[in-house]
Amino acid sequence: MTETAAPRSTDAPESPQGPKVADEAKRPRPTTPPKKSGIHRQGPSFLMAVPAVALFGLFALVPLFGVIAISFLDWQTVRGTVEWVGTSNWETVLSDRSFTWRALELTVYFVVGSYLFQMPTALLLGVFMAGAQKYRALLSVLYFLPLLFSSVAVGLTFQSLFSPNYGISAALSWLPLPNDWLSNPNLVMFVMVFVVGWCFIPFHALLYQAGVRQIPQTMYEAATLDGAGRVRQFFSITLPQLRYTFITSSTLMLVGSLTYFDLIYVLTGGSPANAVRILPLDMYIEGFSSHNLGNASVIAVILVAIGLALSLLLNVLSGSTKMQSDKAGA
Amino acid sequence: MTHTASTEAKMPDAGQGLNPAEPEGGAQGTKAFGPKGRGTKPARPYESPNVLGGILGWVWLGIIILPIYFIVITSFRSRQDLAANNQLVPTAEPTLQNFVRVIENDFFHFFLNSVIVTISTVAVVLAVSVMAAYYITRSTSWGGGRLFQMILLGIAIPVQATIIPVYYLIQYLGLYDTLWALILPQIAFAIPLSVLIIVNFVRDIPNELFESMRVDGAGEWKILTSLVLPMSKPALMTVGIYQALQVWNGFLFPLVLTQSRDVRVLPLSLWEYQGQFGVDTPATLAAVVLSALPLLAAYIVGRRYIVAGLTAGFSK
């Protein structure tokens, strides 16, 4: 994500695409003397950032370190005792609980499955929506609708729709549809990936649509003159030009998939046979239903580690692709 | 080369076969919808119909609409009707009883709680994020860059992962089961992404504007309110709308940090309605429909601003 803004400052003079930045760099700056030192600095004071830092620190950073600490404690909420137990929670979670590795495995399935469903669909829909026909504008209006529902609302809706007695299977009984959408352990993971996609694809499609609209039309005109067809233009112009949108959207999708707790909790509660008990849900059940806060915190720390690793990975990947595609685009 | 030629030759044919009306619609659309004054051009560079996109587009419409259609028609049914008739056909005897039942069960009270929490959270997020973004982009000291890096890492912290300490912190501060318990942590978790989006905008404000304001003797607050705020308006809209949706629809914080009916917000109320109404599916779905109506109204009124606002900052 850091890279999103970087190229503006680094490669400005070479880039013919950035006249604004290039102007800025060349224009003389007569009035202000160069950076003063010490107290007389020109920038705003740190006081400006204090409210954000304080709120973020107290309610996000402190809990982040707190969760690491609690993972080494035996915290009995009912008796009110706190005891340092070293790595014993970690040992329990990683070796004694058969759930943890299963939950980790399911999380990987869920994140990968969600990404493979959401990314191509959102990309294609976004490109489609960016086209000119009027009916596409109407479709775009309707595509937005899922964003207006809370995850609980979506959960309750699909719970009814997938109900064996009152749902789609009952209404279309002449079709060979399964009627155990949510109670079949082999099916429920696919159902969850689909429902989560239903909720989030519209948002990502919107991002891609906005990204496509920013691509200069002259690129397509030139490509058309060169005899490139639609498919060729898609791969040679649209995709490379969408790289920042792609990174933003992928980061939000992947880190988001790690935290899709609400829907899964509402729709299944982890059952049947814990077939969708992914890490966030496992953590919630262990912490707030079974009152094993130490164990739950271990799971939470694992979640944080995965989240940070994913973001860093995306940053590194996007950093390397950025340099290449900047040259190609210029 | 051969590949390109063959796709070109195939595309128009295939498209016309599937949807003969499309090219004509395309020409019309260009006039009405073409980006930034390009309407005078005869056609967009490629006007061969996007067949794959078109098919996906209509299929997706069906996928989007079916569940929404289902909850709407079901919310007008009676329980008996749901069991007796085809569930996908609208009922012959629509009833408003389900909605009455939901409204009589304090719906508007929960609605008001949601409004209070959402407005307070978003207002504070916007204020503190724009100040922090101003500091980060314009600070000449070492702290700005460091702060930005720290905040960027914050994006990767899954909210769920910190809910246990947040729960204790809120209890320790004596805020458990109050609206504050929902507002304060949600502000904190909204800050990283908001700052990132706003920084991307503030960074683009030309240096000269800041310098000329300084020369004119403007202080920090003056610069913030009369330069940074107006220039970062698209980013503020993005942040405001995105975070408002997040907070309005958020479920985990209310579930863990509140308990009593007095401070219940809409998503949690749906959850409670489900328990309360039990097997009365139409009543539960009426609550779902009612809970989506306020946002639907907002979307109908401000669609342009909402969509533009949502995308302006993210596509930077």
Q: Which pLDDT band, with edges at 50, 70 and 90, does B35 fall under?
A: very low
Q: How far is B193 from chain A (nearest CA, A)?
A: 10
| CB < 8 Å to B68, chain A | 145-146, 157
Q: Which pLDDT band, with edges at 50, 70 and 90, does B316 fall under?
A: low
Beta-carbon contacts of B122 under 8 Å, excluding residues fewer than 6 positions away, are: B240, B243, B244, B247
Q: Which pLDDT band, with edges at 50, 70 and 90, does B307 fall under?
A: confident
Mean pLDDT by 10 residues, chain A (330 residues): 39 40 45 45 81 93 92 79 85 83 92 95 91 80 92 92 84 80 87 94 92 88 85 88 87 83 85 84 89 90 89 72 35
| CB < 8 Å to A137, chain B | 33
* Mean pLDDT on B259-284: 91
A40 touches chain B (CB under 8 A): no
| CB < 8 Å to A207, chain B | 311, 314-315
Q: What is the pTM of this model?
A: 0.81
Q: How far is B285 from chain A (nearest CA, A)?
A: 7
Q: How far is A135 from chain B (nearest CA, A)?
A: 8
- The answer to whether B7 contacts A230, with C-beta atoms less than 8 Å apart, is yes
In chain A, positions 258-287, which contact chain B (CB-CB < 8 Å)?
258-259, 261-262, 266, 280, 283-284, 287
Residues A87, A109: Cα–Cα separation, whole Å = 28
Annotate B74-112 with DSSP letters as a single string.
HHTS-HHHHHHS-TTS--SS--SHHHHHHHHTTHHHHHH
Residues A234, A241: Cα–Cα separation, whole Å = 10
A26 touches chain B (CB under 8 A): no
Q: How many CA atoms lie within 13 A of B141 on its CB side?
A: 14
Q: Which of A291, A301, A275 is nearest to A94 (CA)?
A: A301
Sign of CA dihedral B35, B39, B44, B50: positive
State the ipTM, two decimals.
0.80
pLDDT at B13: 36
Residues B154, B167: Cα–Cα separation, whole Å = 19
- The answer to whether B169 contacts A296, with C-beta atoms less than 8 Å apart, is no
Q: Which pLDDT band, with edges at 50, 70 and 90, does B43 fall under?
A: very low
Beta-carbon contacts of A30 under 8 Å, excluding residues fewer than 6 positions away, are: none
Q: Which of B99, B135, B126 is nearest to B284 (CA)?
A: B99
Q: Which pLDDT band, with edges at 50, 70 and 90, does B48 fall under?
A: low
- C-beta separation of A252 from A200 below 8 A: no
Closest chain B CA to residue A57: B188
- C-beta separation of B264 from B258 below 8 A: yes
| CB < 8 Å to A244, chain B | 315-316
Probe site for chain A from B1, B51, B205, B251 (most A CB atoms < 10 A):
B251
* Mean pLDDT on B194-210: 91
* Mean pLDDT on B189-203: 91
- The answer to whether B211 contacts A288, with C-beta atoms less than 8 Å apart, is no
pLDDT at B49: 66
* Mean pLDDT on B161-183: 93
Q: What is the DSSP letter of A234?
A: I
Q: How far is A193 from chain B (nearest CA, A)?
A: 14
The string of pLDDT tens digits covering residues B121-171 is 999 999 999 999 999 998 888 888 888 888 888 887 877 889 999 999 999
